[in-house]
């Protein structure tokens, strides 16, 4: 048996990818530090965990972590032996070299305990069973009698302030017991892997695209060339997969043969891979641009989506608009006017209502509202119309006026530098390389959401709050200004009849 320890999170990593587990144990310095968006997800998970503990008011929390793990195991053992607490939170249990921190062990006061694993998701996921089965394996191995195994996740049907049914509990007992032999076999394999002097051979594949990302992706993908078939847009549920294409060769989009079936967009990618010029449907782009009418509102929302609702009528993870930026051009060649909104954070205020009031001051004349991937803005406005019926006419009229700038790149304009993406972060450098997001304190939407949560959390020092507000306003203004620049560049290209490589 290896002297190295496998924790619950490491076991989950090993189930996903054996190479990831090896790196976690031996080469953690290769990991990319978690970004602000991932840190926010961790924070939200802790908030959900705290709410789950409130269901057992007489429970006891084992607080020791890190180097104090032995003390945590000792305190947990004392609670298990004394049988006096109604529940143990973050119970630390070791069996052989396998260690878990159980979210909740509920005391049945008959010598048995129920394991309750708490997830901040709104649905069950396949990996949840691996999680609880590993914990059951360790608990049973340590001699703890487990009666029931539950997976508890968020009920997305509840609305604030009635959160009595916030959690849905699923009985995983039978499924977890049935999986125990598989867990034991998997652990034997993982122990052998981490005892090796070198990491296992593991080709990049679907495991790299797990929902939470992989901290070692940059290491494993460092030799993937630009323009590889892994950049094929929306190449999903295909046989062969894009990973199959990559490993069997050729690795580059430009080298694909006629035997590979491609969608219209992927065919454009193929054409673009062979030239340094853009592939443009000139007639289609001109017709698309002609749909925009002044006044033009270049509009961008920023939102937060807390797992625990905080506003009347709000569901878990429902988006709250807390910021927007809007550049307005009232006529051809007219100067831009900039409007911005950032929620006050005043206790008792509703940022949704503040946002609507600010929008009513901006959208005073019907025109075209330009957004990038406008499904986001439009769906958010529809939600506001449902929540604030007195403003529904105003909001639903706005929703009709949206025009999606992203469609220009989905349907009429593509360059190989986009790397298989039509996102504004990929498109903007082609038209305005000087407008770099890396120059900003807040560089992407994930960082913006995390910053907004910090800004609206009570207790922030005034100096920090002022700086955060400034950074957020700068970031959001860049998003709406980026749309101005891209739109105007497209207009110039079509007006000047610059030579294009025509599609088809």
Measured distance CA(210)–CA(204) in Å, rounded? 12
Check whether domain 6-194 has CATH 3.90.320, yes or no = yes
Query: Per residue in 37-51, pLDDT tens?
Result: 889 999 999 999 999
Phi, psi values for residue 90, rounded to 5°: 60, 40
User: pLDDT digit string (tens) for 298-354?
Assistant: 999 999 999 999 999 999 999 999 999 999 999 999 999 999 999 999 888 999 999
Q: Which of 219, 232, 308 is nearest to 263 (CA)?
A: 232
Residues 206 and 232 sit within 8 Å (Cβ to Cβ): no
Q: Concatenate the DSSP letters of all residues of 324-390 into one string.
A: EEEEEE-STTPPEEEEEEE----TT--HHHHHHHHHHHH--S--EEEESSTHHHHHHHHHHHHH-GG
Give pLDDT, residue 291.
Answer: 96
Q: Mean pLDDT across the chain, nearest whole number? A: 94
What is the structure's pLDDT at 49? 97
Q: Is the pLDDT of residue 153 over 70?
A: yes
Question: Concatenated DSSP letters for 86-102?
Answer: SEEEEEEEEETTEEEEE
- For 9-23, 205-219, 357-371, 420-434, which range has the lowest pLDDT when averaged over its residues? 205-219
Please enumerate in sequence order all residues whose Cβ is within 8 A of that of 3, keeping only pairs 6 or more positions apart, or say none. Answer: 97
Q: What is the mean pLDDT of residues 409-421?
A: 96
Burial 453-484 (b: 16+ CB within 10 A, else e): bbbbeeeeeeeebeebbebbbebbbbbbbbbb
Identify the CATH number of the domain defined by range 285-502: 3.30.420.10
Q: In angstroms, rounded to a whole number, what is the distance separating the alpha carbons of residues 489 and 269?
A: 21
Q: Where are the CATH 3.30.420.10 domain residues in the chain?
A: 285-502
Identify which has the larger pLDDT, 499 or 153: 153
Lowest average pLDDT, out of 86-90, 209-213, 227-231, 362-366, goes to: 209-213
Q: CATH 3.90.320 region(s) of the chain?
A: 6-194
- Residue 170 confidence (pLDDT): 97
Residue 114 reports pLDDT greater than 80: yes
Q: Residue 502's pLDDT band (boundaries 50, 70, 90)?
A: very low
Q: Where are the alpha helices (DSSP H) in 249-327?
A: 264-272, 282-289
Q: C-alpha angle with apex 2: 176 to 23, nearest 5 degrees?
A: 80
Using CA atoms of 412, 417, 421, 426 in order, give the dihedral in degrees to the nearest 10.
Answer: -100
State the pLDDT confidence band at 503, using cuts at 50, 70 and 90. very low
3-state secondary structure 256-270: CCCCCCCCHHHHHHH
SS3 414: strand
Average pLDDT rounded to a whole number, residues 13-34: 94
What per-residue confidence (pLDDT) applies to 20? 95
pLDDT the model gives residue 348: 86
Positive/negative CA dihedral, 187, 192, 196, 199: negative
Which helix (H) or strand (E) segment holds residue 131: the answer is helix 126-141
Q: Quick one: pLDDT at residue 501?
A: 38
The candidate with the shortest Cα–Cα distance to 14, out of 200, 288, 204, is: 200
Q: Which of 284-298, 367-381, 488-502 has the lowest mean pLDDT?
A: 488-502
What pLDDT was estimated at residue 105? 98
327 is written with which tokens? 């550049």
Q: What is the pLDDT of residues 444-476, one digit of tens each?
A: 999 999 999 999 998 899 999 999 999 999 999
């Amino acid at each position: 048996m290896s002297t190295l320890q496998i924790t619950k999170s490491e076991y989950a990593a090993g189930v996903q990818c054996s190479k990831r587990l090896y790196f976690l144990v031996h080469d953690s310095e290769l990991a990319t530090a978690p970004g602000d968006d991932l840190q926010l997800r961790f924070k939200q998970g802790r908030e959900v965990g705290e709410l789950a503990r409130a269901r057992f008011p007489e429970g006891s929390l084992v607080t020791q972590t890190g180097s104090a793990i032995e003390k945590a195991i000792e305190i947990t053992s004392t609670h298990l032996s004394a049988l006096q607490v109604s529940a143990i939170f973050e119970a630390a249990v070791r069996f052989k070299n396998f260690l878990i921190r159980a979210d909740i062990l509920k005391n049945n006061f008959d010598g048995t305990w129920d394991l309750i694993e708490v997830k901040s998701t709104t649905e069950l996921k396949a990996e949840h069973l691996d999680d609880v089965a590993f914990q059951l394996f360790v608990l049973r191995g340590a001699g703890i009698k487990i009666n029931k195994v539950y997976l508890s996740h968020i009920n997305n049907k509840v609305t604030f302030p009635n959160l009595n049914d916030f959690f849905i509990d699923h009985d995983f007992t039978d499924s977890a017991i049935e999986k125990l032999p598989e867990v034991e076999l998997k652990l034997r394999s993982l122990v052998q892997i981490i005892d090796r002097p070198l990491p296992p051979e593991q080709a990049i594949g679907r495991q790299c695209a797990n929902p939470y990302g992989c901290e070692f992706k940059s290491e494993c993908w460092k030799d993937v060339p630009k323009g590889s078939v892994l950049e094929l847009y929306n190449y999903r549920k295909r046989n062969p997969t894009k990973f199959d294409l990559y490993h069997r060769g050729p690795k580059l989009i430009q080298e694909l043969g006629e035997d590979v079936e491609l969608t219209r967009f992927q065919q454009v990618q193929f054409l673009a891979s062979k030239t340094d010029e853009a592939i443009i449907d000139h007639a289609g782009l001109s017709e698309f641009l002609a749909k925009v009418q002044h006044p033009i509102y270049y509009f961008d929302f920023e939102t937060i989506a807390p797992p625990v609702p905080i506003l009347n009528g709000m569901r878990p993870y429902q988006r709250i608009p807390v910021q927007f930026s809007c550049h307005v051009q009232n006529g051809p060649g007219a100067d831009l006017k900039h409007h911005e909104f950032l929620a006050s954070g005043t206790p008792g205020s509703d940022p949704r209502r503040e946002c609507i009031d600010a929008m009513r001051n901006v959208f005073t004349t019907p025109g075209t509202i330009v957004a990038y991937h406008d499904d986001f803005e439009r769906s958010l406005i529809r939600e506001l119309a449902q929540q604030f019926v007195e403003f529904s006419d105003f909001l639903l009229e706005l929703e009709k006026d949206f025009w999606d700038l992203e469609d220009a790149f989905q349907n009429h304009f593509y360059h190989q530098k986009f790397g298989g993406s039509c996102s504004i972060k990929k498109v903007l450098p082609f038209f305005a390389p000087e407008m770099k997001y890396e120059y900003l304190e807040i560089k992407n939407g994930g960082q913006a959401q995390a910053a907004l949560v910090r800004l609206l959390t009570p207790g922030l020092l005034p100096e920090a709050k002022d700086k955060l507000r400034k950074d957020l306003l700068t970031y959001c203004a860049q998003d709406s200004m980026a749309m101005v620049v891209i739109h105007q560049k497209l207009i110039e290209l079509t007006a000047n009849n610059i030579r294009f490589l025509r599609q088809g």
